[in-house]
Structure 1
Amino acid sequence: MNSAALTTAPSRTLNRWWYVATGFLTLLFGTTVVNVLFNVLGKPMTAEFGWERSVISNGLSVETIMVGISIVALGILIDRHGPRIPSALMAAIFGTGLILMSVVPNNQAIFYLICILIGAGAGAVNPIAHSTVVSAWFSDRRGTALGILMAGLGACGVLMPYLANWMLDLLGWRGAFAVIGVLCTAIPVLVYTFVTRMPPEHDAERLTARANGRTAGESLLTLARQSRQFWLLSIAIFLVSSATFGLMSQVVPMSTDKGIEQGTAVTILSILSLSSLGARLLTGYLLDHFFAPFVASGIFVACGGGVYLLIAADSVVPLILGAILVGWGLGAEGDVAAYMTSRYFPKHSYGRVLGFVYFLYAMGSAFGIFLLGQLYSATGSYTAGIVPIIGMVVAAIALLLCMGAYRYTLDHESVEAAPGHSNPAAAATADR
């Protein structure tokens, strides 16, 4: 395919940057909302019902597991049917689940069922659909475009705690779930229905394959058997997600347990999210100029230091510094996963591969949340989590450094068929 076509050809109605902007808007009201709401609204909710704190963390773990399943399903559906219709339907399920949380009775079984419903639709408000669209439209500045897109998740983490806290004071925790749930239903559904589109050439190839009784691209099973990069990337993202999301889910209770006021603890959580927002933009820029595994490894080294500070420190300043460093890792991992998937795997397998990577991303989140929750229950503090969490970050760095040279150029051609791509450095810069 002519790379210039994908780089410059507009859609029939929109400049390609609109797909970035509307994707940002979707993620602003996307999956990060659940983590924030459970952080901010969890205590008043458990206080009303007389539940243990572990009920909320277990519900978040259940929801996160379902997120992973929904992401894999959506990735397969995107490669077969395109992103628009499957994503709109799943986004409606996600928002409906949040609205139902506003009327949940004092019944843990119903609470967990609603968590399952939220997770079942949350694949559509993760980056997979919009990353697929943006990667298809952008040959040049793909890293930057993905960074701006992913910044929606960071912006959600920055703004949503204050919105949730304000709604909590104004309407109570039930009203907060209801209002935010409506927003999280309407905005993504409208974006997917009226804006989201793939390039015509990409859709034509997909439809041709379907007309011939097959699906374009290589199957997950084939890639899992033949590509070591498939497992290296997937496991690395799982490990980093366990560390970063595990900590993020506990920032507010972890801080208040150390005597930090609730408002300050919410600010620390917002700083973590603000840091992840900046990291997404910076990481996107760096991915356009440097070899992706090197970029990710440098950021994750800093993240390891943040893990130590966030768990071990007991005063505001080092907690803020730890939140900043962990936010760097949290912000980088989504960009790295989306970008590296486009450079190591065929374009028509992008949705499936990224869906599986984000599945392990979600499983890592669930595992990290569960791990810290269990450590807290067993020891009464989070200190015991320092060694395993830092160990996971170090292991992830080692795996990424084993990825090797890019397999595909920015215009989706195989590196083996393109001259001048004999090493990682050349592969990283030859398309620019």
Structure 2
Amino acid sequence: MRFKEYSIVAISLFGISTGPAAFGLASIGVVSEPMSIEFGWSRTAISAAVSIMMLCTAACLPIAGRIIDRLGARRVLIPSILLLALSMAGLAFVQSYWQFIALYIAMGTIAVGTNSTAYMRVITSWFDHRRGLAIGIAGSGTGLGFAYVPVFTQALVEHWGWRAGYLGLALILLLGTLPLVLLAIHEAPEHDAPHDRPEARAAQQGDSIREAMRKADFWVLGGIFVVLAFVLYGLIPHLVPLLQDRGVSAGQAAWIASLFGSAAFAGRLLIGFMVDQFDARRIAVIFFSLSALGLLLLALPLPTWAFLPAALLLGGSLGAEVDMLAYLTSRYFGLRSFAQIFSTLFAAVMVAMGLGPLAFGFVFDMSGSYTAILAIGAPICLVAAGMVLLLSSYAQRARGGQVTTT
């Protein structure tokens, strides 16, 4: 990778770490307890904000993908980052539940352009042969966010309260993400060129959204990642409260959540390297099966040390989710309508991301424990691993236009 490509991958990594998926999910587990004390809201009510944000994102992502394909990633990212920063800052001043929900809705609608779709569009335009590694590095931004956001937010909460946590996240967006995107994020030159020029033709190869939806692989991919997202992202906002219920202190719980994020970060780097070397389907089966083991470790009445391998297994498996979806989308359907196809699939995944936290919160409020939902989640992950076997052999579309099967 040349310096320009390195910088784009690195900035995409950081940008994704500051998106709604990381900032919205990883912070709410830390602030839920003090918010519950101040306002009297239940865990279901608080986690519902994340669910609503995800559902709104799911509704808006296909539209955002179409706009990104038409206008370019940069023109969507810049205003979206500003709107996300304003939404995060606004959370520091909420006085009622409807204000809290309204701002999470804003993060899922007007700030939807800060999700990984725009960054993935840029990455896939710059890389072909090492696309898996590039996607893995950039996509590990979500894991990076899950690693530092709980610790960063917890430090602010301990010193200045939960409102300071949201203000700190808003400042990261304004002083970090926005200047970096302005400095370096844009598609490769052929993506900026008129479509009738020869260098643009390779970038326009692949399926349209309608052509993709007529293929079985489109629906199998959607099914795999929907069921995974329901379980893995359902757990994230409840991980810190779950650990505290098991007798772990707030500070220790935040660090274990950070370990979860660190494992997701490392897992995405490892997976990004591996999918360039081996069949991505085999890798998916392995990692999805490991997530089932991690859920069982949390469900069983084991000593607190078991939380550490559980966090590592689940975090590492999370690395196989969105990045694998982006990689397989580019390989199965090409780049012609990548943002629209990926965002459509990701929209379905976001619905599951939204319903998962709500389901976890509902089970806890009804039973006083997360054990039942964790026990159900383990076989769900095994079902996802089995569904991978239904995928056909994917094609690798080279920049020069030749198509070679793996």
TM-score for both structures, normalised by structure 2: 0.93
> What is the CA deviation profile of residues 125-148 of structure 1, one whole-angstrom value per residue up to 9, with x for unaligned ones?
322111111111112211111111
Note closer, same or farther for the CA distance 1:313–1:85 as it changes in structure 2 (3 Å cut). farther
Q: What is the match of residue 320 of structure 2?
A: 332
Structure 2: which 5+ residue stretches go unaligned? 199-203
Aligned equivalents of 2:109, 2:175: Cα separation in 1 = 17
Q: What is the match of residue 63 of structure 2?
A: 73
Cα offset, 1:325, TM superposition: 0.7
Aligned equivalents of 1:101, 1:216: Cα separation in 2 = 43
Verify the 8 A CA contact 1:94 1:185 in the aligned structure 2: no
Aligned equivalents of 2:159, 2:182: Cα separation in 1 = 32
Cα offset, 1:277, TM superposition: 0.9
The 5 A counterparts of 1:368-383 are 368-383=356-371
Aligned equivalents of 1:383, 1:303: Cα separation in 2 = 16
Aligned equivalents of 1:412, 1:400: Cα separation in 2 = 29
Note closer, same or farther for the CA distance 1:219–1:228 as it changes in structure 2 (3 Å cut). same
Note closer, same or farther for the CA distance 1:379–1:289 as it changes in structure 2 (3 Å cut). same
Verify the 8 A CA contact 1:206 1:216 in the aligned structure 2: no
Aligned equivalents of 1:308, 1:121: Cα separation in 2 = 38
1:162 paired to 2:151: yes
Aligned equivalents of 2:195, 2:50: Cα separation in 1 = 36
Amino acid at match of 2:54: T
The 5 A counterparts of 1:275-294 are 275-294=263-282
Equivalent of 1:220 in 203, 209, 222: 209
Note closer, same or farther for the CA distance 1:376–1:355 as it changes in structure 2 (3 Å cut). same
The 5 A counterparts of 1:191-202 are 191-202=180-191
> What is the CA deviation profile of residues 79-132 of structure 1, one whole-angstrom value per residue up to 9, with x for unaligned ones?
111111112112221111110000111x21121111101222443332211111
Aligned equivalents of 1:282, 1:364: Cα separation in 2 = 25
Cα offset, 1:391, TM superposition: 2.7
Equivalent of 1:182 in 171, 176, 184: 171
Cα offset, 1:69, TM superposition: 2.8
Equivalent of 1:64 in 54, 79, 93: 54
> What is the CA deviation profile of residues 330-351 of structure 1, one whole-angstrom value per residue up to 9, with x for unaligned ones?
1111221111111100211110
Amino acid at match of 2:82: A
Q: What is the match of residue 99 of structure 1?
A: 89
Q: What is the match of residue 334 of structure 2?
A: 346
Amino acid at match of 2:364: Y
Q: What is the match of residue 244 of structure 1?
A: 232
Note closer, same or farther for the CA distance 1:370–1:207 as it changes in structure 2 (3 Å cut). farther
> What is the CA deviation profile of residues 350-394 of structure 1, one whole-angstrom value per residue up to 9, with x for unaligned ones?
101111122122212112111111111221111111343123212
The 5 A counterparts of 1:33-432 are 33-105=23-95, 107-206=96-195, 218-224=207-213, 226-411=214-399, 413=401, 415=403, 418=404, 421=405, 427=406
TM-score for both structures, normalised by structure 1: 0.87
Cα offset, 1:186, TM superposition: 4.2
Aligned equivalents of 1:240, 1:141: Cα separation in 2 = 26
Higher relative contact order (CA 8 A, sep 6+): 2
Q: What is the match of residue 430 of structure 1?
A: none
Cα offset, 1:216, TM superposition: 8.3
> What is the CA deviation profile of residues 228-283 of structure 1, one whole-angstrom value per residue up to 9, with x for unaligned ones?
11111111111111111111221111111112221121121111111111100100
Aligned equivalents of 1:331, 1:375: Cα separation in 2 = 26
The residue matched to 2:251 in structure 1 has which SS?
Answer: helix
Aligned equivalents of 1:208, 1:291: Cα separation in 2 = 34
Verify the 8 A CA contact 1:241 1:361 in the aligned structure 2: yes
Of stretches 14-23 and 93-102 in structure 1, the one that deviates more from structure 2 is 14-23
Aligned equivalents of 1:276, 1:322: Cα separation in 2 = 12
Note closer, same or farther for the CA distance 1:218–1:262 as it changes in structure 2 (3 Å cut). same
Aligned equivalents of 1:172, 1:222: Cα separation in 2 = 51
Aligned equivalents of 1:268, 1:315: Cα separation in 2 = 14
Query: How many residues of Structure 1 are paired with residues of Structure 2 in the alignment?
Result: 400
The residue matched to 1:260 in structure 2 has which SS?
Answer: coil
Cα offset, 1:410, TM superposition: 4.1
Aligned equivalents of 1:190, 1:119: Cα separation in 2 = 22
Aligned equivalents of 1:113, 1:256: Cα separation in 2 = 28
Note closer, same or farther for the CA distance 1:202–1:166 as it changes in structure 2 (3 Å cut). same
Cα offset, 1:16, TM superposition: 1.6
Cα offset, 1:166, TM superposition: 0.9
Aligned equivalents of 1:65, 1:393: Cα separation in 2 = 21
Aligned equivalents of 1:216, 1:145: Cα separation in 2 = 20
Of stretches 226-235 and 63-72 in structure 1, the one that deviates more from structure 2 is 63-72
Cα offset, 1:173, TM superposition: 0.9
Structural RMSD (CA): 2.1
Note closer, same or farther for the CA distance 1:410–1:324 as it changes in structure 2 (3 Å cut). farther
Aligned equivalents of 2:174, 2:351: Cα separation in 1 = 24
Cα offset, 1:408, TM superposition: 3.5
Aligned equivalents of 2:400, 2:318: Cα separation in 1 = 27
Aligned equivalents of 1:390, 1:76: Cα separation in 2 = 35
Q: What is the match of residue 201 of structure 2?
A: none
Amino acid at match of 1:21: A
Aligned equivalents of 2:285, 2:255: Cα separation in 1 = 28
Verify the 8 A CA contact 1:205 1:216 in the aligned structure 2: no
Identity of aligned residues (%): 25
Note closer, same or farther for the CA distance 1:363–1:63 as it changes in structure 2 (3 Å cut). same
